[in-house]
Structure 1
Amino acid sequence: MSHPMKADDVSRLLSADEVPPVLEENVRGASPLLLTCDHYGRLFPRALGDLGVSESERQRHIAWDIGIAGVVQRLAKSLDAHLIAQRYSRLVIDCNRPPGVPSSIPVLSEATPIPGNENLAPAAAEARRIAIFQPYHDRIAQVLDQRARERQPTILLAMHSFTPVYAGVARPWHIGTLYNRDKRLATMLLRLLHAEGDLVVGDNQPYAASDATDYAIPVHAERRGLIHTGIEIRQDLIADAAGQHAWAERLTRIFKQVLEESGELGLIVGDPADPAL
């Protein structure tokens, strides 16, 4: 394993020839659905080496959301929805955590130490925020502002996957819906998912959204009054292309039904000039 550099400025963290943090597909998609994917990728900036983490660990769920990339790419196409995803590993900086909290740049992920994150200087942490976290969330905000100006209704879907076993305990859910203060879409989805008849569905399981543990839902969705939910799919179900295709097909059908019933949700466009929304 290489010894990481303690990047203390943006230019050292991401060079001009490195992959940009934001990936977008179907930018002009006509669907009200906007897909976000905080843990899409597992890249490491060249300046940070491998953070002292082995390749086998960097392939695990501690580094990214296994399988979700293939699902969201298919969904963006089948639903004609705009996808905004983030390519760098959550071990560099977690784009679904408020900057500054311990889990934002973890020194321990489950039982795996992250040596390159230990004793990180404030300037180095800020460099990661500026180079990776901020461009991703700025782009989401920019798109939401534009959609609001154009009076285009928006339903935000924060897409994730979860490990089938955590801390030695098997998780029974195939899929879960996550929410914090607003359960409108989650309630509809729970009904539609249960109606499938072959799914164990989590209601704010395996995680519950909160201001302390999430970023996209409280900041981008709740502050704007947007219809939204977090989606978690168990990783063993989408670890290969066949599983990703099957789940994308299932969710395409379900989300089309959501859109057909969207009058019940009372779609809110939101005003980018009003931070109280």
Structure 2
Amino acid sequence: MERIPDTGRPAAAQDSPFTCLAPDGGARFVLVCDHASRALPPEAGSLGLDPAELHRHIAWDIGAADVTRALSAELDAPAVLSGYSRLLVDCNRAEDDPSRFPEQSDGTAVPGNAGLSAAEKARRNRLYAAPYHDAVAGMIARAEARLGHPPAIVSVHSFTPVFQGRERPWHVGILWNEVDGRLANPVMDLLRADDGLCVGDNQPYSARQPEGLTMRRHAEMPGLPHVLFELRQDLIDTRDGATAWAHRLALVLRRSLELYPPPFSRLASGDEPV
């Protein structure tokens, strides 16, 4: 199969902290991809890393951007993709989380992040993280104005097939916090209807833990329906694989609308789990 060109960012992107796709798309979903790129701005150099390290999972979610682009095209869904490597600043971590500017990742030291000053962290937050989150918030507001009701938020990530020497059996994991299952539950049911798939409920990571910032800020806190897909990288690291999984997810998301039809509402604080 044809390997996806390893550009580290969506093909249409320039040197920017985010890329927007289909801003006026007609879908009831807004897509986000926090770790779409392994790119670094010129002033950051390679953060002191051997360039080969920037092709690894520590720098980006391999295949996630390609799935997001294909999913956006198939659903006609607005999407926001990050423009820089999570090693520069992890947009999916809170500002007070040490892993937002990782000094080491998966056993690899990141010299360019060692002993960062508060001023440098603030600069990276201002230039690289804040614009991405502003773009996500703006895309959601734009979709809500167009639809007349809130959109559902779909996040796309990928995970390594082997971790600490152990194979991970899941083809796809569904991450959610067990409070708002309006989208996550039908999505899991539909994926599990395929006997050939191993589907993880909050595996290989758990959304019940507080690390993930993007979905908490833009979906959970405002009470929007949401789901986060974790796709195994060896299934989506080719163009055919990424396209096939985007098609699979598009079918599942469309079908989920039949099981929980719009208009979506905001789940108010204190509402019972769904």
Q: In 2 relative to 1, CA 81–157 (structure 1 residues): closer, same or farther, beyond 3 Å?
A: same
2:8: which partner in 1?
none
Q: CA deviation at 1:183?
A: 2.5
User: Runs of 5+ in structure 2 lacking a partner?
Assistant: 1-13
Q: Which residue of 2 aligns with 1:162?
A: 159
| Distance in structure 2 (CA, Å) of the matches to 1:104 and 1:86 | 14
Residues 6-31 of structure 1: CA deviation (Å, up to 9, x unaligned) = xxxxxxxxxxxx71111011110011
Of 209-218 and 128-137, more deviation after overlay is shown by 209-218
Q: Tell me the equivalent position of 2:7.
A: none
The partner residue of 2:243 within 245, 250, 255 is 245
Q: Of residues 37, 42, 50 in structure 2, which corresponds to 1:41?
A: 37
Task: Give the Cα separation in 1 of the matches to 2:85 and 2:55.
Answer: 10
Residues 140-155 of structure 1 correspond to what in structure 2 (within 5 A)? Answer: 140-150=136-146, 151-155=148-152
Give yes or no for contact 2:35–2:61 (8 Å, CA) kept in 1. Answer: yes
Which segment drifts farther, 182-191 or 142-151? 142-151
Equivalent residue for 2:188, pick from 171, 187, 190? 190
Alignment check: 8 A CA contact 1:33 1:156 kept: yes
Decide which of 61, 65, 68 is 2:61's aligned counterpart: 65
In structure 1, C-alpha distance between the alignment counterparts of 2:33 and 2:76, rounded to whole Å: 16
Q: CA deviation at 1:143?
A: 2.3
Distance 1:190 1:157 in 2: 14
Look up the equivalent residue of 2:259 and give its one-letter code: E
Higher mean C-alpha deviation, range 22-31 or range 249-258: 249-258
Per-residue deviation, 1:269: 5.4
Looking at structure 2, the residues matched to 200 and 169 of structure 1 have their Cα atoms a distance apart, in angstroms, of 16
- Bigger CA drift: 34-43 or 176-185? 176-185
Opposite residue 202 of structure 1, the aligned amino acid is: G
> How far apart are residue 259 of structure 1 and its match?
1.9
Q: After TM superposition, give the deviation of residue 149 of structure 1 in Å.
A: 4.1
Taking the TM superposition and a 5 Å limit, the aligned residue runs for 1:205-216 are 205-210=203-208, 212-216=210-214
Q: What CA deviation, in whole Å up to 9, does each residue of 1:204-230 have, x standing for no partner? A: 001111463101111110111100011
Equivalent position of 1:6 in the other structure: none
Q: Is structure 2 residue 46 aligned with structure 1 residue 50? A: yes
Provide the C-alpha distance between the structure 1 equivalents of 2:22 and 2:259, rounded to a whole number of angstroms. Answer: 24
Whether the 8 Å contact between 1:107 and 1:115 is mirrored in structure 2 is: yes
CA distance in 2, matches of 1:190, 1:34: 19
Provide Cα deviations, 1:235-277, integer angstroms capped at 9, x if missing partner: 00001111111111111211111122222x872158xxx9999
Q: Identify the range of structure 1 (36-45 vs 211-220) with the bigger mean alpha-carbon deviation.
A: 211-220
| Amino acid paired to 1:169 | R
Residue 171 of structure 1 is matched in structure 2 by: 168
How many pairs align? 256
Q: How does 1:47-126 map to 2 (within 5 A)?
A: 47-126=43-122
- Identity in percent: 39
Distance in structure 2 (CA, Å) of the matches to 1:193 and 1:74: 19
**Partner letter of residue 197 of structure 1?**
D
Q: CA deviation at 1:167?
A: 1.7
Q: Distance in 1 between matches of 2:236 and 2:40?
A: 23
CA separation in 2, counterparts of 1:25 and 1:167? 36
Query: Aligned pair in 2 of structure 1 residues 218, 102: CA closer, same or farther (>3 Å)?
Result: same
2:19 corresponds to 1:23: yes
Deviation at 1:145, TM superposition (A): 2.7
Query: Distance in 2 between the 1:79 and 1:42 partners?
Result: 26
Q: Is the 8 A contact 2:182 2:260 kept in 1?
A: no
Q: Give me the whole-angstrom Cα distance separating, in 1, the residues matched to 2:269 and 2:22.
A: 27
Using a 3 Å threshold, how does the CA distance of structure 1 residues 246 and 209 change in structure 2: closer, same or farther? Answer: same
TM-score in terms of structure 2 length: 0.88
Distance 2:74 2:96 in 1: 37
Q: What amino acid maps onto 1:38 in structure 2? A: D
